[in-house]
A and B are shown apart, each in its own frame.
Chain A
Amino acid sequence: MTSALVKLELLRLRRSRAAWAILAFALFASFYSVWSGVSWRASHSASLVAYEAAIEAKMDVWLETLVAIESGERFATPFDARPSQVEFAATHPVGPLGHLAVGSAELLPARANIGPLKNQNLMVERYGFENPTTLTLGRFDLAFLIVVVLPLLMIALSFDVIAADRSRGTINLLLASRASKQRVIATRLLVRNGILGGIVALAVVFGIAMAPEGAAAFGLLWSLVFLAYSLFWIGLIYLVVGRTSRSETSAAVLVSLWALFTFAAPALANSAGEALYPLPSNLDYLSDARVAQNDAWKRRPELTAKYLSDHPELVANEMEAPEFAHAYFLANVMEIESTAPIVAAFEDSHARRSAFVDKLQFTSPAIVAQRALFRIAGSDFDRTLSFLTQARAALTNLNDELRPVILASNRMSTEDFAGLSGFEFKSNSPAAVLGQISIPVAFLVACLCLFVALGRPGNRYSPFA
Chain B
Amino acid sequence: MKAGVIAAKEALVARRGKRLWALSLGVIAVMVASMAIGLNRTATFETERAAAAESDKAVWLDQGFRNPHKAAHFSRYVFKPIPTLASFDPGAIDFGGIAVWMEAHIQNPSRFRRAESTGDLSRFVGLSPAWVLQVIMPLIVILLLFGAYAGEREDGTLRQVMSYGVSPGAVFKGKLRGASSALLKLLLPVFALIAIAVFVFDRGYPQEDLPVRLAGIVGIYGIYLFAFAMLTIGVSALSPSRRSAAVSLLAIWCLVTVLLPRFANDAAVTATPQPDSYQTWKDLEEIKAEYWGVIPAFGIPLTDIRKREMARFLEKFQVANVEDAPVPWSAWELQASEEYSDPLYDAYYAGLNDLYGRQEDTRFWLTALSPTISVMALSSGLSGSDRLHHYDFVKSAEEHRRVVIRQLNEDLLYNSGADPMVYESPTSFWGEVADYEAGPPPLTNFTGSYLPYLLVMVLWASGAFLFARWAAFRAANMETAV
Contacts and interface: CB of A to CB of B under 8 A. Distances in A.
Direct contact of A and B (CB under 8 A): yes
Interface of A: 29, 33, 36, 39-40, 43, 47-48, 50-51, 54, 77-80, 103-104, 106-109, 111, 125-141, 144, 148-149, 152, 156, 159, 246-248, 251-252, 255, 259, 262-263, 266-271, 273-275, 278-279, 281-284, 286-287, 290-291, 293-294, 297-298, 346, 350, 353-354, 357, 366-367, 370-371, 374, 380-381
B48 A47 contact: no
* Majority secondary structure, A binding face: helix
Given A137-B262, A137-B265, A270 B276 contact: no
A137 B359 contact: no
B246 A252 contact: yes
Interface stretch (B121-129, B166-174, B312-320, B470-478): B121-129
Contact of B113 (A128, A281, A284): A128
A47 B55 CA distance: 36
Given A267-B124, A294-B74, A156 B119 contact: no
A79 B59 contact: no
Contact of B261 (A43, A137, A268): A137
Given A281-B52, A287-B55, 6 more contacts: A47-B276, A47-B277, A134-B359, A267-B126, A271-B37, A273-B119
B120 A380 contact: yes
Given A137-B262, A294-B59, A39 B270 contact: yes
Contacts of B401: none
A273 to B, nearest CB: 7
Q: Give the residue among B51, B254, B359 with the most A Cβ atoms within 10 A.
A: B254
Nearest to B261: A137
Q: Give the residue among B44, B77, B135, B278 with the most A Cβ atoms within 10 A.
A: B278
15 contacts: A47-B277, A131-B360, A131-B387, A132-B390, A133-B363, A134-B265, A255-B250, A259-B139, A282-B117, A284-B48, A286-B77, A290-B74, A294-B74, A297-B74, A371-B120
Interface in B70-121: 74, 77, 79, 91-92, 94-99, 108-113, 115-121
Q: Give the residue among B56, B243, B360, B386 with the most A Cβ atoms within 10 A.
A: B243
Contact of A283 (B48, B268, B284): B48
Q: Give the residue among A47, A139, A159, A353 with the most B Cβ atoms within 10 A.
A: A139
Q: Give the residue among A54, A132, A246, A282 with the most B Cβ atoms within 10 A.
A: A132
Contacts of B52: 281, 283-284, 286-287
Nearest to B268: A134
B263 interface: yes
Contacts of B311: none
A138 B262 contact: yes
B115 A104 contact: yes
Interface string B261-299: 111011111100111111111101000000000000110
Given A104-B115, A270-B124, A271-B127, A132 B259 contact: no
A148 B258 contact: yes
What 10 A-B pairs come out closest when comparing CB atoms? A79-B297, A140-B266, A132-B92, A132-B95, A287-B55, A283-B52, A266-B124, A267-B127, A270-B121, A127-B277
B92 A136 contact: yes
Nearest to B251: A156
A283 B49 contact: yes
Nearest to A255: B250
Contacts of A381: 119-120
B116 A108 contact: yes
A263 B122 CA distance: 11
A47 B279 contact: yes
B359 A133 contact: yes
B123 A281 contact: no
Contacts of B466: none
B121 A266 contact: yes
Interface of B: 37, 40, 44, 48-49, 51-52, 55-56, 59, 62-64, 74, 77, 79, 91-92, 94-99, 108-113, 115-127, 135, 139, 242-243, 246-247, 250-251, 254, 258-259, 261-263, 265-270, 273-282, 284, 297-298, 352, 355-356, 359-360, 363, 386-387, 390
A294 to B, nearest CB: 5
Given A50-B278, A107-B116, A284 B51 contact: yes
B121 A131 contact: no
A86 B117 CA distance: 30
Q: Give the residue among B62, B122, B135, B360 with the most A Cβ atoms within 10 A.
A: B122
A141 B79 CA distance: 33
B261 A283 contact: no
Contacts of B126: 267, 270
Given A51-B278, A104-B115, A107-B115, A273 B121 contact: yes
Nearest to B63: A294
A373 B241 CA distance: 40
A133 B387 contact: yes
A307 to B, nearest CB: 22
A291 B270 contact: no
A275 B278 contact: no
Given A135-B92, A284-B51, A77 B297 contact: yes
Given A262-B124, A266-B121, A294-B59, A281 B48 contact: yes
B404 to A, nearest CB: 16
A291 B59 contact: yes
Contacts of B262: 137-140, 144
B125 A266 contact: yes
Contacts of A144: 262
A293 B74 contact: yes
A381 B268 CA distance: 24
Given A51-B278, A127-B277, A283 B99 contact: yes
Nearest to B276: A47
B248 to A, nearest CB: 9
A381 B116 CA distance: 9
A255 B146 CA distance: 15
A283 B127 contact: no
A292 to B, nearest CB: 10
Q: Give the residue among A80, A246, A287 with the most B Cβ atoms within 10 A.
A: A287
A275 B277 contact: no
A131 B92 CA distance: 9
A107 B49 CA distance: 22
Contacts of A129: 109, 274-277, 280-281, 352
B355 A251 contact: no
